[in-house]
Amino acid sequence: MATLANLGGQPVLILPEGTFRSRGRDAQRNNIAAAKAIADAVRTTLGPKGMDKMLVDSMGDVVITNDGATILEEMQIEHPAAKMMVEVAKTQDKIVGDGTTTAVVLAGELLKKAEGLLDQEIHPTVITKGFRMAKVKALEALEKIAKKVDITHEDILRQIAITAMTGKAAERASKELADIAVGAIKRVAEGKEIDIDNIKIEKKEGGSINDTRLIEGVVIDKEVVHTAMPKKVEKARITVLSSALEIKSLETDAKVSIDSPEKMQLFLEEEDKILKRMADKIIESGANVVFCQKGIDDTAQHYLAKAKILVARRVKKSDIDSLGRATGAAIIHNLNDLKKEDLGYANLVEERKVAGDQMIFVEGCRQPKAVTILIRGGTEHVISEVERAMQDAVKGLAAALDLGKIVPGGGAIEIEVAKEVRKYAESFEGREQLAINAFAEALEIIPRSLAENAGMDPIDKLAALRAMHEKATSPQYGLDVFTGNVEDMYKLGVVEPLKIKLQAVMSASEAAEMILRIDDVIAAGGSERAPAMPPGGMSGMGGEGDY
């Protein structure tokens, strides 16, 4: 369907044949519907009583999770507005690491409320303006309600970790796992600086969740490459290599012609020499351990084994980085550059058996902050979910300590902020007031969903919560989803980092505003499943020049 502009009675073709276009209310409604569909998809997973989703990909691989970001990532979403919602989850995940479902659900609810206002013929710009003002107020209220926390408040830290993990498969062992998360954070914390890159999360199937351990050092899921190599090296001097110990196959079309047995012999000898030189380079540097990101030729292995060097190959890029950081080794991209000063150090490098598999433990590293959380569990699905829970806990702790502030969970904070935003709305009139109030109502989707997901009557619970929050002294009262009572969340230990809520409010309202401002969707032809926006947004408007 090409779009025509009318010029003096002559139709003028401004878009190429096959371009999909929807405008005005249609475009708006379609985008809102798509965004709401995304929010609905994850809403039932919110909170400790939220359900899990089973996701099956085209290869038949199964992921069972309750994690908003993971669900959306696996869903392969096509619709452009829906994709913006996925971005909300991704941003939340990247910046805070937890609160992804909250952010997406909030964005969906803002759009739902906006739809109601559009129905009352309120213009989108009025709505977005009201939302923007309400957002500023909400962020302010969040800051005001938040309570201080620091690295010495171990009990609170444990509560943050447990709150972040509840609802994920880890629940049964959440106390032990929370202790591990707090232990790890305490190890890497230095004043206010917390670098969670020092915490490596590794998993190994087998055993039970309770076998999960905090290990001081780096654990690599690899084995020593050659049987003749040592399995244990004390006072390890470590080379970390990102390049292969192999002879590169020729990249051009050059041919080597071998037409006699002598030439063949020479060729092989030459190869052997090159590989030996590589091994010698390492031996000369004084290294007794090598971690290599790429492959290692059998011949090179042989020479390294003879020199009693412990070697692992095909080590993941992320592990190479961790090893570099932990042992102080410079990551070597070209073997010719290897110098003695580039070596890292650890008291002990040892291959050990974990659940029937070999893993390499690097302990007593130069950087004493490097730790590994080695997650164990019965099945792949269980450990993957425990891994996600552990990530939420560790990142949640880092987020809490980053701003040094926490807020009460269980919907308490949302009810309180909604109250403040409503109060603020009173200073406005008419349509703007409606928009600000809509924002306040949207915030209440969080306690509402927590109640619904726990099988409780959301209307009753919201009424009880609101009544409690009328008192100035009880901003921390939220819903105990296990009993249905309205409780003091600080006493119950349901606390969350302020950063989660700040970021969720920011990215949710930004996404909602952005979607509301769109009144024209133009998608290039050829995309069968239109409307899928062409990359770069509007550049599909061929003849009109590039925007």
What are the residue numbers of the active site? 67, 100-101, 392
CB distance 52 to 67 below 8 Å = no
Q: Are 382 and 468 in contact (CB under 8 A)?
A: no
For residue 238, the cross-strand partners are 289, 344
Query: According to CB under 6 A, which one of 73, 98, 297, 510 is a site residue for ligand ADP?
Result: 98
Q: Which residue has the tokens 């519907």?
A: 33
Q: Which range binds ligand ADP by CB under 6 A, 2-10, 41-49, 120-128, 169-177?
A: 41-49
Pair 164, 496: CB distance under 8 Å: yes
Residues 485, 59: Cα–Cα separation, whole Å: 44
**Residue choice 48, 217, 458, 475 for contact with ligand ADP (CB under 6 A):** 48
Nearest distance in Å: CB 498, ligand ADP: 12
**CA atoms of 522 and 540, how far apart (whole Å):** 7
**Choices 32-40, 217-225, 265-273, 479-487; region in contact with ligand ADP by CB under 6 A:** 479-487
* Sites for ligand ADP among residues 66-85 (CB under 6 A): 66, 68
Nearest approach, Cβ of 65 to ligand ADP (angstroms)? 10
Instruction: For the chain, give the number of residues.
Output: 547
In the complex, minimum distance from the CB of residue 496 to ligand ADP, in angstroms, rounded to a whole number:
5
Map the footprint of Mg ion across residues 85-124, applying CB under 5 A. Answer: 98
Residues 6+ apart with CB under 8 A from 142: 407, 413, 417, 498, 501, 502, 505
Q: How far is the CB of 511 from ligand ADP (least distance, A)?
A: 15
Read off the tokens for 186: 């305490």
Short-list 425, 405, 407, CA closest to 415: 407
Smallest separation, CB 380 to ligand ADP (Å): 22
Comparison of 166 and 367: residue with beta carbon closer to ligand ADP: 166
Between 167 and 475, CB nearer to ligand ADP? 167
Footprint on residues 163-222 left by ligand ADP (CB under 6 A): 163, 166-167
Backbone torsions φ then ψ of 199, nearest 5 degrees: -100, 115
- Which residues share a beta bridge with 354? 357
Residue type, 92: Q
Contact positions with ligand ADP (CB under 6 A) in 401-430: 409-410
Helix (H) or strand (E) holding 522: strand 520-523
Phi, psi of 389 (to 5 degrees): -65, -45
Q: Which of 15, 39, 47, 465 binds ligand ADP (CB under 6 A)?
A: 47
Instruction: Please tell me whether residue 93 binds ligand ADP under the rule CB under 6 A.
Output: no
Enter the tokens of residue 124.
């989108």
Q: What gap in Å lies between CA 482 and CA 345, rounded to an integer?
A: 49
- Binding mask 333-372 toward Mg ion (x if CB under 5 A, else -) reads ----------------------------------------
- Strands (E) in 355-424, as ranges, are 357-365, 371-377, 405-408
Which one, 80 or 411, has the nearer CB to ligand ADP?
A: 411
Residue 52 in contact with Mg ion, rule: CB under 5 A:
no
- DSSP H or E segment with residue 123: none
Return the number of the residue (199 or 508) whose C-beta is nearest ligand ADP.
Answer: 508
User: What residues line the site for ligand ADP (CB under 6 A)?
Assistant: 45-48, 50, 66, 68, 98-102, 163, 166-167, 409-410, 446, 450, 479-481, 494, 496
User: What residues line the site for Mg ion (CB under 5 A)?
Assistant: 98
